[in-house]
């Protein structure tokens, strides 16, 4: 089973196969040793990923979980009936989420039931799997000594929830574990490339595949429309646009810590880059012509792909629906979009690279990618190549192997 979990993140339909580095516990499984009443606190997976947990041997585990659609109600109950106001670091919906990310909160499930939040229970025995779905809070405890192994994974349906998670991390100014924009853009480009072959067209006619593609295309088009709109507005304010010096380097926003894969802004007011989601900060900046917007060298190809996706039924309507009820950045987009001078994907002049580079040339790839494993303290980033075929062997002499069963728990629906 260890070998299966090791390969899971690199399967052909796994989104995590696109990561340039391995993340212990996310792309590579971690082993967990439990004892009597040792517990795992209420939490959701990083970036609202799926998780799969295999019970190798030992005593059983009790799991409690809620459906992903009940996550807002869960957080409301925790905020109002579990945490004292002095514990909460802020106000609003993200206050409880911030503390829950620490994975240190445990309370009896009857509190949730009392406030009409659905809770489900499962007993996991040796040889059995438990799968949790995006945004599905879960917790549990061991009945005695045991050994389990878990890893995360993601498929195309994850992108809309991944966008929500990235937005919440940005509001909390938390360094992301995954480069969401990078994964989204790479998956969109690969889908277009594969779909251009006749053999792939024959494999993507099912309703399920169509739904998965829709879940990826809508946030991709939304991202490309939003970044183009903001870049056009900055151009009108006097900003110059340049290509990034190193398109493989990861740039983090100095305000919200969001990863800036497509574009970022530099000016004299700040030493570090900021992303395009900070309308208020950008408008207050007096730099004007001294402001520079850096974009990927394949920005035209990405926007062309976005326009291609927009030709499909339902994509534009879904994007507009998302924009109408989104963040302040989406409100800014809607205002610009109604400007008579603006139309989507209009030409924005890109200058030759300036003397000031978009990132430090002294930084290598490994330094730029450290943020992806930073939240798991004490773990050194490991470069992972897709051509690697070596898998660490797992000695199971001391474990009793049994026919496995799968519990699919805590889904979004």
For the chain, domain boundaries: 2-158+374-409, 181-371
Contact assessment for residue 351 and residue 242, using Cβ atoms and an 8 Å cutoff: yes
Distance CA 26, CA 43 (A): 15
List CB contacts of 58: < 8 A, sequence separation 6 or more.
34, 126, 142, 144, 145, 146, 147
Contact assessment for residue 112 and residue 77, using Cβ atoms and an 8 Å cutoff: yes
pLDDT at 75: 94
pLDDT tens for the chain, 413 residues long, are 778 898 998 998 999 999 988 999 999 999 999 999 999 999 999 999 999 999 999 999 999 999 999 999 999 999 999 988 777 776 667 778 888 888 889 999 999 999 999 999 999 999 999 999 999 999 999 999 999 999 999 999 999 999 999 999 999 999 999 999 999 999 999 998 887 775 555 554 566 688 999 999 999 999 999 999 999 988 888 889 999 887 677 799 999 999 999 999 998 888 899 999 987 788 788 776 788 999 999 999 999 999 999 999 999 999 988 877 665 555 555 556 656 678 888 888 888 654 444 444 333 443 333 344 444 433 333 444 433 332 333 333 333 333 445 556 665 55
Contact assessment for residue 224 and residue 188, using Cβ atoms and an 8 Å cutoff: no
CA distances from 138 to 79, 80, 126, 306 (A): 17, 19, 19, 36
List CB contacts of 62: < 8 A, sequence separation 6 or more.
121, 122, 123, 124, 140, 141, 143
List CB contacts of 10: < 8 A, sequence separation 6 or more.
16, 17, 27, 386
- As given in the structure block, the two tokens for residue 194 are 């594969």
* CA nearest to 295, candidates 247, 226, 259: 247
Main-chain dihedrals φ then ψ at residue 166, nearest 5 degrees: -60, -40
List CB contacts of 127: < 8 A, sequence separation 6 or more.
55, 401, 402, 403, 404, 405
pTM of the shown model: 0.81
pLDDT at 340: 61
pLDDT at 299: 94
The topology under which CATH files domain 2-158+374-409 is Jelly Rolls (2.60.120)
């Amino acid at each position: 089973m260890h070998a299966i979990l090791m390969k899971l993140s690199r399967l052909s339909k796994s989104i995590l196969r696109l990561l340039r580095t391995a993340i212990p516990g996310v792309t590579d499984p971690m082993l967990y040793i439990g004892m009597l009443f040792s517990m795992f606190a209420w939490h959701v997976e990083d970036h609202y990923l799926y998780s799969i947990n295999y019970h190798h041997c030992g005593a059983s585990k009790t799991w409690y979980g809620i459906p992903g659609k009940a996550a807002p109600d869960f957080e409301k109950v925790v905020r109002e009936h579990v945490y004292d106001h002095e514990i909460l670091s802020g106000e609003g919906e993200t206050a409880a989420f911030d503390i829950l990310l620490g994975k240190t909160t445990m309370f009896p499930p009857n509190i949730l039931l009392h406030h009409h939040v659905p809770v489900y229970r499962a007993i996991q025995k040796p040889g059995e799997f438990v799968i949790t779905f995006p945004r599905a809070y879960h917790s549990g405890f061991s009945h005695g000594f045991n050994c389990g192994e878990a890893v995360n994974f993601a498929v195309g349906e994850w992108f809309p929830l991944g966008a929500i998670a990235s937005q919440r991390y940005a509001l909390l100014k938390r360094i992301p574990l995954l480069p969401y924009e990078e994964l989204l853009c790479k998956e969109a480009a690969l889908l277009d490339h594969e779909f251009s072959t006749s053999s792939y067209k024959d494999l993507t006619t099912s309703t399920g595949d169509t739904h998965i593609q829709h879940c990826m295309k809508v946030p991709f088009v939304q991202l490309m429309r939003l970044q183009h709109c903001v870049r056009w507005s900055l151009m009108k304010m006097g900003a110059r646009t340049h290509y990034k010096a190193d398109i493989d380097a990861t740039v983090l926003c100095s305000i919200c810590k969001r990863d800036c894969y497509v574009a970022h802004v530099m000016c004299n007011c700040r030493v570090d880059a900021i992303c395009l989601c900070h309308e208020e900060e950008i408008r207050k900046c007096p730099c004007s012509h001294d402001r520079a917007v850096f974009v990927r060298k394949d920005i035209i190809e990405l926007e062309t792909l976005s326009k291609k996706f927009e030709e499909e039924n339902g994509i534009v309507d879904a994007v507009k629906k998302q924009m109408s009820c989104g963040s302040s950045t989406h409100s800014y987009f809607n205002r610009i979009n109604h400007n008579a001078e603006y139309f989507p994907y209009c030409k924005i002049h890109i200058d030759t690279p300036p003397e000031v580079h978009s990132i430090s040339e002294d930084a290598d790839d490994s330094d730029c990618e450290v943020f992806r494993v930073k939240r798991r303290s004490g773990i050194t980033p490991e470069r992972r190549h897709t051509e690697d075929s070596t898998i660490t062997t797992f000695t199971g002499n001391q474990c009793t192997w049994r026919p496995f069963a799968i519990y699919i728990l805590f889904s979004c629906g």
